[in-house]
Each structure stands twice: as structure tokens, then as C-alpha cells.
Structure 1
């Protein structure tokens, strides 16, 4: 395996539209972060307004806690299908920005049903802030591969 990757923080964001049941959206969120993590870290709720004045609630959880980060990422990577893990590895370079953020988008509907899978449309957005800078891109890619493989086996 490559070098050990350090995660500075983890942020999850999900939008709850007026047409959606807020409790179902929260359940989807909870299935990604786990009830255990939500006992220790309370997500913030922000009221927003859509383009046509429709109410939207943004649910955000940001943590710097290494144990909570590990629990959440282990839950995510451990529950993704083999094909989604292979897709992540294939798209790794495109999922990391110049600031060292690693992005995932998870299917909100599937998460509500207790399944985790990658999806770009109306997703649960996951941002993993990595401690290695983009200037060290090859190290970053190698470390991300190691993180995915390690947590998927946990």
C-alpha cells in the first residue's frame, strides 16, 4: 500500500427541497454518517431559497475529529459496491481539486434505502480535505488509493 493519508476534515452536505420529506432526507444523511457519529457531531441546518423562491434546507456536517472521520469514511467506502470502488479509482484524478479536496457524490435516494452508491444528480456531497497538497499530486493519488482500499476492507 502507498503512504498513509492524513485527512484534515470531512464535510457532508445534503439539500432538502420543499417537495421532499425532511425526515426522509435526514434518514439518508444518517445512513451515510451513521447514528453513532451523529451522537457526537450535530449537523447544522441552513434555510435557503431556490431560484423560484422555493424553500430549501441545507444540512451540513463538518468534523475535524479523527475518530469520527474514520468511522464515517469506513462506513462509506466499506458499503460502496465493487464497481463504485473501481469507478472511484478510475476517476480519482478528476475527483481531487487543486486545494487537496477529494469529492464524492452519493445517491440520496439509495442512502435513504440504506445503500451507498455514487451518483451525480441531487447527491449527498462529501468533501474530504486531505493534508497533502496538490503540488504533491502523485503522492496524493497514491495515498487516496490506499485510503479507499484500506477503509473498504475495514
Structure 2
């Protein structure tokens, strides 16, 4: 994988009042390079319950490669490749979600809980070009 056709990758998850924030952070770290900084923002739910938003933006090419290697380890990565037309929006952003509970155990599985958003490089910035670039990268992984 010589070049990475992504400007950046954002990873985000929520830690609800019933969850241990260290465990949720551990789930997010499944995708990140070692000791990568994670931002924390405190919020409040509709009934006043605590919500912590954990997020990380990965912009360095080597770190993006690390995240993408983790994504490629998902058992159904072929299905992701087949769904690329539905996963890239008109702003050239690629979206994917992962199972937070599985990630806590060190496994990468599609599901709910952790959101990945990657800004795909495309010149000109057209959705079709972004889909082609993302497809090329995912086929290399």
C-alpha cells in the first residue's frame, strides 16, 4: 500500500452512564496505533444521564494505514467492498460502523457502537472518483 487516498479518518464512540469509560476507550483503541491520543467530551442525555464522547482523528499516513489494516481484518470486508457505492456520500466521505463489544475483545466486526468516517481524496472532488479511490485501496488490503 504505497499511498493512502484518505485525507483523514475519524473514529467516534459514545460511553453511556451504564458503561465503563476505560473499557469503551479500550474498544476504540482496537483501531488506533499504540498510545494515540483520544479526545473526551462530556455530554448529557435527555434525562440528565452522563454521556462521554470519545473520538480520534487520524491524519498521518502511517497511522491511517494502521487503522485501515484493522478495518481490513473484519471477516466481511468483501461485503464492505460490494457496498462502497452506498458507503461514500456526495462529500467524498466513507462511512462504516463497528461493534463496540467485539472491539473491546480485540475483534473487528461490523455492527453498532463505533463509527468510522474517512475523507476520501478525489480530484476532482466527485463521489464517483471517491468510490473508485476507496475501492482501489480496499482491494489492496
Superposed CA deviations along residues 45-67 of structure 1, whole A, max 9, x for unmatched, are 00011111110000110122111
Distance 2:124 2:98 in 1: 24
CA positional deviation for 1:90: 2.2
Residues 92, 141 of structure 1: 8 Å contact kept? yes
Aligned residue in 2 for 1:89: 81
Mapped pair 1:125 → 2:120: no
Structure in which a larger fraction of residues adopt helix: 1
Answer whether contact 2:24 2:104 (CA < 8 A) is retained: yes
Q: Flag as ranges the 4+ runs of structure 1 deviating above 6 A.
A: none
Partner of 2:22: 23
Post-superposition offset of 1:73 = 1.0
Structure 2 unaligned runs (5+)? none
1:68 is matched with 63
What pairs with 1:131-142 in structure 2 (closer than 5 Å)? 131-132=121-122, 136-142=126-132
Matches within 5 A, 1:36-115: 37-39=33-35, 41-77=36-72, 79-81=73-75, 84-115=76-107
Alignment: residue pair count: 139
Return the TM-score normalized by structure 1. 0.82
Q: TM-score, normalised by structure 2?
A: 0.89
Can you list the C-alpha shifts for 1:75-113, whole angstroms capped at 9, x where unaligned?
221x110xx212212221111111110001000011111
Distance 2:128 2:90 in 1: 13
CA RMSD of aligned residues (A): 1.7
How far is 1:6 from its partner? 1.6
Check 1:100–1:134 CA distance in 2 against 1; reply closer, same or farther (3 A cut): farther
CA distance in 1, matches of 2:26, 2:119: 24
